[in-house]
Amino acid sequence: MKVAVVGATGLVGSEILTVLAERNFPVTELIPVASERSKGKEIEFKGKKYKVVTPNEAIALKPQVALFSAGGETSTEFAPLFAQAGITVVDNSSAWRMDPSKKLIVPEVNGLELSSEDKIIANPNCSTIQMVVVLKPLHDKYKIKRVVVSTYQSVTGTGVKAVTQLMDERAGKQGEKAYPYEIDLNVIPHIDVFQDNGYTKEEMKMILETNKILGDDSIRVTATTVRIPVMGGHSEAVNIEFENDFDLNEVRAILAEQEGVIVVDDPANLKYPMPKDAHGKDEVLVGRIRRDESQDKTLNLWVVADNLRKGAATNAVQIAELLNKKGLL
């Protein structure tokens, strides 16, 4: 299978290549794609070298699937051109997520919705993906009324520039800044741009995408998203109010059975999910499972995942795997 990776030289693009290799996706020819300035650079994949091409050159090479991770502008311009050429696009930007004509897919949650008509498929926001994987089986069992989520997000979610800023600050060096403030030894309650309602775009993504993925606009969601000086994964404190009451042991059992989830919940032995434990893993880790004692039928969870893997690259590759399994590529 010919596979194009658009944005192959970026943080998420590089991770997509790693995940494709690790999961033995049936790549017969890799087409690494980037901007004009990266054209001709060499990318190594499974011991072979491939030259970076431009998006237009990639379309002419007719891959079956194109995994996009090159930002919203690139996706808006080129995803339709790939689709028109009969190439299935899995897009990691926010460009198509809330388009009512496009599916927003987390394979373990709503992968059954995919059909042969879907030529541009949206990959959700990283912080949304890890949360909905945990919410889905609980919603099926107890029906969720409301979710309150606060995130603690890794600098890797911003990209190479942010990682460099953190490392420069830690080393006492001056350098280019990805954030308006220092991130080392600091917490910035601001991810993406502020909207007219006082929420950031990241917070609104979590709210709107959760409803769309779970297919239920009655679920009320509110979010506060925060950048912290950490690498390896995003963490979330999630408070869930249900219509029906629950048993904590049953909750743990339901989560343990959910595909793509690992329960790490043993406070007596100080076992709980942390970003360093999630780093390099494809699963979502969940722990600190406890009843909210201030309100009936309400649960508290702590959810952690590698944002470059399940939050981006792995989810995109899993979508491609599902399309292949269904014979849609």
Single-letter amino acid code for the residue at 185: L
CA distance to 70, 142, 151, 314, 324, per residue, from 328 (Å)? 24, 34, 35, 19, 6
By the 8 A CB rule, do 302 and 287 touch? yes
Write the burial class of residue 228 (CB in 10 Å: 0-12 exposed, 13-18 middle, 19+ buried).
middle
Q: How far apart are CA 239 and CA 144, in angstroms?
A: 11
Active-site option among 126, 139, 190, 279: 126
Largest CA distance in the chain: 60
Give catalytic status of residue 190 as yes or no.
no
Quick check: helix, strand or coil at residue 236? strand
Residue positions counted in the chain: 329
Q: Which residue has the tokens 């959700």?
A: 124
Active-site option among 139, 190, 234, 279: 234
Q: At what angle do helices 314-325 and 11-22 cross, to 10 degrees?
A: 50
CA distance to 132, 136, 139, 220, per residue, from 207 (Å)? 11, 15, 16, 8
CA distance to 134, 174, 191, 261, per residue, from 254 (Å)? 10, 49, 32, 10
Quick check: helix, strand or coil at residue 272? coil
Quick check: helix, strand or coil at residue 36? helix
- How many other CB atoms are there within 10 angstroms of residue 67's CB atom? 30
Give catalytic status of residue 234 as yes or no.
yes
Write the burial class of residue 213 (CB in 10 Å: 0-12 exposed, 13-18 middle, 19+ buried).
buried
Active site residues: 126, 234
